[in-house]
Structure 1
Amino acid sequence: MRTHVYVDGYNLYFGCLKKTPHKWLNLHALCSALMPQNDIRAIRYFTAQVSGTPHDPDQPTRQQTYFRALRTLPQVSIHLGHFLTHEVSMPDAADWQRGRYTPRRVMKTEEKGSDVNIATHLLIDAFDDAFDVAVIVSNDSDLKEPISVVRNRFGKTIGILNPQAKVSRALQPLAHFIKPIRPGALANAQFPAVMQDATGQFHKPARW
C-alpha cells in the first residue's frame, strides 16, 4: 500500500516529545516500525522555525541541526509555516475562577500555517493519486474536514499515529486505523549521535 505520512511537528512535539530524551527522532524509522507492512513513499514534516529567547538562545541552532538530520532521509520533506509572537491581555486564572476579571499582559506565541499546509498537501496528493494510505501524525481536530474529503471523496485509507493520550473525537470516526506513539517506539527510532551528510559530520545537540 503506497503510503504518505503527514507529520504535524508542533502536535508531535508537545504530544509526546517535550521533556523526553527522544527529540532526536528519525521519522522514517518510527513510521516503518509502527507500519511495517506499508510502503512509505513520502513523509511530509510540517513545522515552523523557532526564534531564540532570553531563556533559550540556542533553540534555533538545535532545530536547524535536527532539520539537517531529517534531510538525510530521502523520503522526508520539510514544510515551514511561521511563529507569531505578540503581547496580549489575558485574564488572571485565579481571579477568573473567583468571578473577577484581572487583565495580565503576557507574551503569546502561535504557530501559523502548518494546519493549512497539511490540508493543502494532503488534498493535492490525494488528487494526484500519489498514495493509497494517508497517515496523519497529529491529534488536531482542525484537520477533520480535509481528512474527511480524502476518505470519502477520494476513497483513500486513513491512518492516525496519535502523539497524545486520547484520540480526538472529531478524527476517530474518520480513521481506518489508529496507533499510539509510545515511549518505547520513540526510544527505538533515534538518529545516531554522530551523523554525516554532504556538508560533513554533525552531532546530536548536547541538550537533547
Structure 2
Amino acid sequence: MTKRSIVYIDGFNLYYGALKGTPHRWLDLQKYFEKLRQDDEIKKIWYFTAKVTGSPSQRQQIYLDALATSPLVEVVFGLYKRKTLRCKVKECQYQGNKEYKVPEEKKTDVNIALQMLDDAYQGACDRMILVSGDSDLVPAVNFVKKRYPQIEVIVYIPATNRKRGAATELRDAADKDKTLPLKLLSKAQFPEIITLASGQKISKPDTWI
C-alpha cells in the first residue's frame, strides 16, 4: 500500500553536508525525492532555511525562485545572524581585537519540529522523511514516535562520509536511517534556464557549474 509521505529538509544541513563545492547545488528537490521515494505518495516537501547576507544572497534568491516553481515545495524561513566569538587560543600572539563574527542559523530546528508535530496532529501523512543530521531534532522525532506510533519516521543524513557514525543520536531515534544517496543528485537538477510564473527567466548561477 502506498504511504502518504511528507519530506522535511534542513536546508543548511543539506547544503553543507552534501552540496557545497559540488556541481549539484541547482537541485530540484521535488524531482530528487520523487526519484528517491518512488513507492511513496509525496504530499509535501518542506524546505527550512534562512536568508543569508552578503554576496551569497543573490545566488540563494535565484535558487529560492527556482524552488517556487515546484508545486510540492514550500519554504519556511528562520533567521540568519552573526554571532560574536572570542579567540581562546592560548598561544595566539595577536595583540589586536580577538573577537570575530561567525554565521549562525536560528529557529530552523524549532520550525522543523513544530511542522512535524502539526502534520502528525492533522493526520497529514503516514510517513515522515527527515533530511538532517542535527541532534536537536531528536526530541521531536521521539515525541512523534511516542504520540503517533502509526507514523513511520525515516531519517536521511546529508553526508559525504557514508559511515553510520555520523549523527548517531538522530539515526537511533528514527524507525529507519540512511545516508542521503549522492548519486541521485546529478539526476535531479533544474533545467539550466527556468521560466517563472511572471515570465521572467532565471538560470543556474555561474559559480555553481
Matches within 5 A, 1:183-198: 183-198=182-197
The one of 139, 153, 158 equivalent to 2:153 is 158
The one of 46, 49, 70 equivalent to 1:47 is 49
Q: CA deviation at 1:193?
A: 0.5
Contact 2:119 2:125 in 1 (8 A): yes
Residue in 1 that maps onto 2:60: 63
Query: Which whole-Å deviations, capped at 9, do the CAs of 1:79-125 have from their partners, x for residues lacking one?
Result: 00111114321312x739xxxxxx83211210001010000111011
Q: Distance in 1 between matches of 2:91 and 2:136?
A: 31
Q: Distance in 1 between matches of 2:63 and 2:155?
A: 24
Q: CA deviation at 1:182?
A: 3.1
Query: Cα RMSD between the aligned structures?
Result: 1.7
Which letter maps to 1:177? K
Matches within 5 A, 1:101-116: 104-116=98-110
Q: Distance in 2 between matches of 1:85 and 1:123?
A: 29
Which letter maps to 2:134? D
Percent sequence identity is: 36
Residue in 2 that maps onto 1:100: none
Q: Distance in 1 between matches of 2:145 and 2:91?
A: 45
Q: CA deviation at 1:178?
A: 2.2
Q: Distance in 2 between matches of 1:89 and 1:179?
A: 37
Q: Distance in 1 between matches of 2:87 and 2:42?
A: 44
Residue in 1 that maps onto 2:203: 203
> Aligned to 1:91, what secondary structure does the other structure show?
coil
Question: Structure 2: which 5+ runs fail to align?
Answer: none
Residue in 2 that maps onto 1:95: 91
Q: Distance in 1 between matches of 2:178 and 2:188?
A: 16
Residue in 2 that maps onto 1:99: none
Residue in 1 that maps onto 2:73: 76
Contact 2:157 2:167 in 1 (8 A): no
> Aligned to 2:6, what secondary structure does the other structure show?
strand
Q: Distance in 2 between matches of 1:179 and 1:73?
A: 25
Q: Distance in 1 between matches of 2:11 and 2:87?
A: 27
Query: Which whole-Å deviations, capped at 9, do the CAs of 1:1-39 have from their partners, x for residues lacking one?
Result: 010000000110110111111110111111112111011
Matched pairs, number: 197
Question: Structure 1: which 5+ runs fail to align?
Answer: 97-102
Q: Distance in 2 between matches of 1:131 and 1:183?
A: 26
Q: Distance in 1 between matches of 2:69 and 2:123?
A: 26
- Say yes or no: does 1:126 pair with 2:120: yes
Query: Which whole-Å deviations, capped at 9, do the CAs of 1:36-59 have from their partners, x for residues lacking one?
Result: 10110000000000001xxxx2x1
Q: Give the TM-score, by structure 2 length.
A: 0.89
Q: Give the TM-score, by structure 1 length.
A: 0.89
